[in-house]
Every structure is written in structure tokens, then in C-alpha cells.
Homo-oligomer: A and B are copies of this chain.
């Protein structure tokens, strides 16, 4: 059975070719030690002649750095995570790093196994998005030396002292509420993604939404708050529940864009034009949000800043420093588009309890 690997030249081969020792070759490559101009050119010629390339595996063994980072997400097919992955990969490639993608499919068992496998691989750091990863597992593996940066975990969901980068979800919810209030909406519905893993990022969003509403004396009865599974179809199903109610809301806030898109579909299916008869606000501002009709109003998470903050936390650890016990909070922003509009007066005929 013929093997596929044409043996690659090693430092020793180059050294022999150049008539020096492998240590000298190593020195000219790393540049950390001065080597005479004459021998340097000889070595460089040998490197070129043999087409030598350093072996990163051997290098990792002694340097204890693999130049490997991992991104753990529920599914890379989620457009938001794909955007983050793209941005992240581009940024770390500048530092000669590679990015490993791990999908947990929202299964804690998967997340645990991924974390453990990454740990054995001695990756230099893992960025963990919520969904399918238990905080306890993160804690266990980071205690063993793996550098983990939880990202977008609502703060209460993790160990109090655990660093990481978050978005200020509550502020985002408040932004959506303020926007809708400003358009005159008073009868509001909410669709919140329920997460089996106990991650409460979505709960924070509705909390912020509700709190901002309360400040204006507007309340949301339990019947106007339903849960969805985070998918477009889930959002549609949830919206059908909301829209079939006798006194249906004039506006709906969904805690992610996919569900908000489902809301729009459900509304159109029932002959309710958006935004004329129903305003819809999403969360995440996925690229698709501006490509559907009507274009979706959404709360945007600044991805570039997110990645910058992640790297700000991660890069120092790669020099051997301990992970800063910092928690970065990134403020979202609202992107108004065509799925929200001023409420129609006619919709208010039953809203006798309006307090202004």
C-alpha cells in the first residue's frame, strides 16, 4: 500500500544542505538570534532549494501554543453566528491563527464532548456562544487550563467571576419598547425564545422590553407573552397564537429575527398587512432583515465590536498572561425599517384603558 506522503524536508535536511546544524537553521527562521550574513544566505538558499516549511505540530509541542482557536456555536448555519465566524476568522488569520468550528446542535452532551476534545488538542482558546454548553462544563474545562471566553451569555447564567463579553440585552429590549411606544403602540405582544439550557439571554431581552414599557405605564398581560423555539417556523406558530386572540396586539416584539420573520409570515397569511395592521420588531439584525419585504426593524448587535472585544480578552492570554477577569458589555442599537409604523387609530377602539 503506497503511502500518500512525500516525506517533507525537516530542519535537519536543510542544515545538512547548508552545512550547519539544525539549531542554526532554526535561528535564521525565528530571527531571535543573530546569525552571520554569509551563513544566513546559505541557509536561506537551502530552504528555498528544498522547499522547506516549518512543521507547526513540532513547534506547538515545545512552544505549547497550537495557533488554534475554536468557536463553539449551536449551529454555524445560524446567520448571526456565521457572520461572527467570518469576522473572527479574518481577524485571527492576521495573527496566523486558524479557527475550528464546533456545533453543539443545542445538545449539552455535544457541548461537553466538544469542550473536552478541544482541551486535549491544546487549543489556545475557545469562544463559546450560548446554547448546548453548560456553564459547569465551561468551568470544569477552564479549570484544567483551557482558556474559554463565554460570549453572549447573559451574565447571571454563568459563574459570577467568569469573564467574557456580552451584549446589553436588556438595553436592546428597552430600545425596541421605546421605538414602539414612540409610534403610539400600547397593545403589545412578545415572543421569547425559550432555551432548554437555562441561558437567559432572551429573557433579558423581554425583561428590558417590559421594564421600559412599565415606565410608561404599559403592561403586557400573560396571554400576550408566548414562547417560540427560535426558528422561523416557531415564530410563525407563536404569532398565530397571538393573532388569534380577540384583542390582538398592534405590535409584536420577537427576541430574534428569525422568529420575527415568522411573525410577518403568519400575519400576511391571515391577511394582516405589515406594518399597516401589525408592527414587528426583531432582534439580531441578521443580513436577511434588510432583504425581506417589508424590511425588518431590528435591534442590532455590533458584530465587529463583539469580535474586537473577544480578541482583546483572548490575545493577551496567548502571550502566557492569565485571562482578564473582565466582563465587557456591548450596547446594541435599533435599526428602524419598514416592519414598524405608527399605530392606526382604528386599532384602538377597545383600548379604553389607555393611560397615555
Main secondary structure on A side of the interface with B = mixed
Q: How many residues of A contact B (CB 8 A)?
A: 66
Would you call A53 and B322 a contact (CB within 8 A)?
A: no
Roughly how many angstroms separate A119 CA and B6 CA in the complex, as a whole number? 13
Would you call A291 and B120 a contact (CB within 8 A)?
A: no
Mark contacts of A96-129 with chain B using CB atoms, 8 A cut-off: 1 yes-contact digit, 0 otherwise: 1011111101000000001011111110000000
Residues of chain B with a CB closer than 8 A to A1's CB: 320-321
Roughly how many angstroms separate A344 CA and B119 CA in the complex, as a whole number? 62
A69 CB to nearest chain B CB (Å): 10
Chain B's closest residue to A78 (CB) is B82
Answer whether residue A54 sits at the interface, using C-beta atoms and an 8 A cutoff.
yes
Roughly how many angstroms separate A102 CA and B68 CA in the complex, as a whole number? 12
Would you call B89 and A82 a contact (CB within 8 A)?
A: no
Would you call A57 and B99 a contact (CB within 8 A)?
A: no
Residues of chain B with a CB closer than 8 A to A75's CB: 86
> In A253-293, which residues have CB < 8 Å from any B CB?
261, 265, 268, 287-288, 291-293
Would you call A98 and B98 a contact (CB within 8 A)?
A: no
Answer whether residue A3 sits at the interface, using C-beta atoms and an 8 A cutoff.
yes
Roughly how many angstroms separate A118 CA and B68 CA in the complex, as a whole number? 11
Of B83, B103, B322, which contacts A86 at CB under 8 A? B103
Roughly how many angstroms separate A114 CA and B323 CA in the complex, as a whole number? 28
Interface window among A36-44, A59-67, A167-175, A178-186: A59-67
Mark contacts of A321-343 with chain B using CB atoms, 8 A cut-off: 1 yes-contact digit, 0 otherwise: 11100000000000000000000
Would you call B82 and A103 a contact (CB within 8 A)?
A: no
What 8 A-B pairs are tightest by C-beta distance, nearest first?
A77-B82, A56-B121, A4-B322, A57-B60, A98-B100, A5-B145, A101-B101, A53-B120
